Amino acid sequence: MYPNDYYYSQDHEWIKVEDGQIGVVGITDFAQKQLGDVVYVELPEVGTQLEFHQTLGVVESVKAVSDIYSPVSGEVVEVNQALNDNPELINEDPHGQGWIVKIKIKDESELQKLMSATEYEKYIEGIEE
């Protein structure tokens, strides 16, 4: 369920590192299930500078509004425009086509603050109980 080569945050974002410095960011399957049907995504502008844990956008389901926090510091280099017309991609494929932004990672050591897939699975088990 949770890919082994991704990192996970306590706020239920994931980040996958591509080409060294670029991190693809999305929300986890757990998060999308909690939210329910996603109907709107507010994306940041390309070029936005993000601090670790800064709000980078908003995901809204019919019922709830949820901030998306940046799992690392860096610059937004690409946003997933497909979400404007198809926000449900976040429900259908949260760890793939439902990605939200790509960030040029400023400090790779920040990744060490995040969880591995195994750690994250344990973490959400604790929440579900």
Partner 1 sequence: MKQTRLYPLHKKLKARMIEFAGWEMPVEYTGIVEEHLAVRTKAGLFDVSHMGEILITGPEALNFVQFLTPNNAAKLFPGKAQYSALTTEKGTFVDDLLVYCLDEGKYLLVVNAANTDKDYQWVLSHQGNFQVTVENQSDLVTQLALQGPLAEEILQPIVEKIDLSQLKPFTFSWGTIKGEEVLVSRTGYTGEDGFEIYTYSEKPALIWEVILEQGESKGLLPVGLGARDTLRLEACLMLYGNDIDETTTVLEAGLGWIVKFKKGDFLGKEVLLRQKEEGVRRKLVGFELLERGIPRPHYPVYIDGQEVSQVTSGTFSPYLKKSIGLTYLPVEYTQVGTVFEVGIRGKRVKAQVVPTPFYKRARE
* Binding residues for partner 1 (CB under 8 A): 36-37, 39-40, 42, 58, 60-63, 65, 84
Indicate the DSSP class of residue 55: E
In the sheet where 74-79 sits, what is the strand order? 6-8, 13-18, 22-27, 101-105, 74-79, 49-50
Q: Which two tokens stand for residue 7?
A: 């990192």
How many whole angstroms separate alpha carbon 30 and alpha carbon 94?
A: 9
Indicate the DSSP class of residue 21: T
Q: Work out how close the CB of 41 gets to partner 1 at its nearest, in angstroms, rounded to a whole number.
A: 10
Question: Which residue, 4 or 63, has its beta carbon nearer to partner 1?
Answer: 63
Q: Work out how close the CB of 50 gets to partner 1 at its nearest, in angstroms, rounded to a whole number.
A: 17
Question: Which residue, 54 or 84, has its beta carbon nearer to partner 1?
Answer: 84
SS3 sequence of 70-106: CCCCEEEEEECCHHHHCCCHHHHCCCCCCCCEEEEEC
Q: Work out how close the CB of 35 gets to partner 1 at its nearest, in angstroms, rounded to a whole number.
A: 10
Question: Which residue, 39 or 77, has its beta carbon nearer to partner 1?
Answer: 39
Q: Work out how close the CB of 61 gets to partner 1 at its nearest, in angstroms, rounded to a whole number.
A: 7
Question: Which residue, 46 or 65, has its beta carbon nearer to partner 1?
Answer: 65
